[in-house]
Amino acid sequence: MSTETEQKQAVAYKIRLIDMKQGVNEILLNYEDAEEMGVHPHDRAKLLTAHGEKATAVIDVSDTLVKKGEVGAFVEITGCCNLKDGDEVFIFPSSRPASVDIIKKKIAGVAWSREDIRTMINDITAGNLSDIELTAYAVAIQINGMSMEEVAWLTESMVETGETIEFEKCPVFDVHSVGGVPGNKYAPITVSIVAANGLIIPKTSSRAISSAAGTSDYMDIICNVEHSAKSIKKIAEEVGGTLVWGGGVNLAPADDDIIRVEYPLSLDPHGQVLASVMAKKKAAGINYVVIDIPVGAGAKVKTDDEARRLARDFIDLGERIGIKTRCAITYGGQPVGHAIGPALELMEALSVMEGAEKPNSLIEKSLSLAAIILELGGVAQPGDGRALAEKTLKSGAALKKFREIVAAQGGKADVSSKDLKPGKYTHEFISPKDGYIESLDNQALIKIARAAGAPRSKGAGIMLNVKRGNKTRKGEPLFTVYSENQRKLEDAKSLGFTLQPVKVEGMILEEIVE
């Protein structure tokens, strides 16, 4: 149908901008207009601007927010069609997307075809599905799963609908953690070691969703983490590496919409996890990736068997889409290092690059992941990567490279741990008795750090004084909570007393007298 014909069949409305994000293309019609058009909430409408731009939008209805003859345009549809207050647009009813019936196939347990998946991802990227429909997608694959063939098609479709980066120099490396363990601040150290040895490692990272800090949450304290695909390529080829926010560039954009509806229901479909990680790596031009899989009672992955299954699936998917994949199953039963929260984590990572010999868990993890990449890249022989990684760290070459990366991303060329300050409001939790640290509850520590303000408040978080197996005496500090706000500190204190995240046991568990 031509634009001229569509305009003749459609009704003209005046745009009223609504400064709210809905997550999908959505418009708001007056109740009377909706009745006259014969549409209801969650139906679809086609929107055509006077300058010829088109979009499909989900309909919502109001008696009061828009007048008859007006259409409310939320942020997504406004940006997609370049709308301004008072613009004239033409609107007419539209059929629901084909993706709705495709989602119902999976609900019924029927496998998807490549074309099914491509259609769905195109609709998700275009904002054509409502949150209800997106949630149905996530629930369907959570319950009925996907074959590895379906996961590969999903990954490829997610790549096709966004930007991609192509590097002149190859091969290109990356490292990614599936998360779930607090204080997992290996990235600045590992990336700097790898880049200092002449390999290219353009690391794109996330911001925290349910944790106390993602890599981008602490890196943006000292430099700009929002870069275009062109800028990421330029920086990586000039200095060897990046530590940037993946959300700042349009890599596999459907993933962000899917994550948004998964989060409220704590959904984590296995196939979507695989596709989410690998689509972003493929789009970023990665040839080799090392996947860190922390395993333990307080991590996302609870058992060794679950970790091995996930590792095998990552490797299988990598083979299908052309990325050489290695997986490292790491200890996730307690935090990595002692610091949890943006500023505290970056201080700890920087102190290690500046020469600190502790914390051992952070140093060992960072060196071990770097060693795998150095051996994959051929700059170290098999078995020699660990020694080269340690030499690079101890010589100061990693710190020098980290500062080059920070400067290339707009930060200070001489950044140091002394530049970082934790929140000024603090509370120290002390040991109730003599004994040994039996366990640390990862999820409880994350909740307390978030209550203190992390990751939004950069200085908020936790500094641990003890780790599992350490000896402690009554009255000695177990951990300190930091906050930038007195009220949030009180919230964190209250939660800390309730959750008791550090468990102390005496040497005598029980005394039996008879």
- 193-223 pLDDT, tens digit per residue, is 999 999 999 999 988 878 899 999 999 999 9
Q: Taking 70 as the threshold, does the pLDDT of residue 7 lie above it? A: no
Residue 1 pLDDT grade (very low, low, confident, very high; cuts 50, 70, 90): very low
- Measure the CA–CA gap between 460 and 482, rounded to whole angstroms: 5
Pick the CATH number of 173-247+274-417 from 3.60.20.10, 3.30.465.10, 3.40.1030.10, 3.40.50.720: 3.40.1030.10
User: Mean pLDDT across the stretch 148-171?
Assistant: 95
Residue 236 tokens read as 């990586």
- Predicted confidence at residue 126, as pLDDT, reads 85
Residues 247-271 pLDDT 10s: 888 899 898 889 888 888 888 899 9
Beta bridge partners of residue 327, listed in sequence order = 291
Residue 508 pLDDT grade (very low, low, confident, very high; cuts 50, 70, 90): low
Residue 513 tokens read as 């007298």
Residue 373 pLDDT grade (very low, low, confident, very high; cuts 50, 70, 90): very high
- Catalytic hit among 87, 131, 268, 491: 268
Residues 408-434 pLDDT 10s: 999 999 999 999 999 999 999 999 999
Q: Give the residue range(s) of CATH 3.40.1030.10 domains in the chain.
A: 173-247+274-417
Residue 507 pLDDT grade (very low, low, confident, very high; cuts 50, 70, 90): low
User: Mean pLDDT across the stretch 403-407?
Assistant: 98
- First-to-last alpha carbon distance for the chain, in angstroms, is 92
- Which residues 6+ apart lie within 8 Å of 94 measured at CB? 44, 45, 46, 56
DSSP, res 353: H
Share of the chain above pLDDT 70, in %: 97
Structural contact between residues 453 and 488, judged by C-beta atoms closer than 8 angstroms: yes
- Predicted confidence at residue 80, as pLDDT, reads 82
Q: Give the residue range(s) of CATH 3.90.1170.30 domains in the chain.
A: 425-505
In this predicted model, which residue has the larger pLDDT, 320 or 97?
A: 320
- Predicted confidence at residue 8, as pLDDT, reads 54
Lowest mean pLDDT among 118-132, 345-359, 477-491: 118-132
Which top CATH class is 425-505?
Answer: alpha beta
Q: Taking 50 as the threshold, does the pLDDT of residue 435 lie above it? A: yes
User: Mean pLDDT across the stretch 11-29?
Assistant: 89
* Mean pLDDT, rounded, of the chain: 93
Which top CATH class is 3-94?
Answer: mainly beta
Beta strand 425-430 with 471-472: parallel, antiparallel or unpaired?
Answer: unpaired
Q: What is the CA radius of gyration of the chain?
A: 26
DSSP, res 301: B
Lowest mean pLDDT among 51-60, 68-77, 393-402: 51-60
How far is the CA of 89 from the CAs of 11, 27, 31, 167, 466, in angstroms? 8, 12, 18, 42, 63
Residues 293-325 pLDDT 10s: 999 988 899 999 999 999 999 999 999 999 999
Q: Give the residue range(s) of CATH 2.40.40.20 domains in the chain.
A: 3-94
State yes or no: is 256 an active-site residue: no
- Measure the CA–CA gap between 304 and 60, rounded to whole angstroms: 47
Residue 9 pLDDT grade (very low, low, confident, very high; cuts 50, 70, 90): low
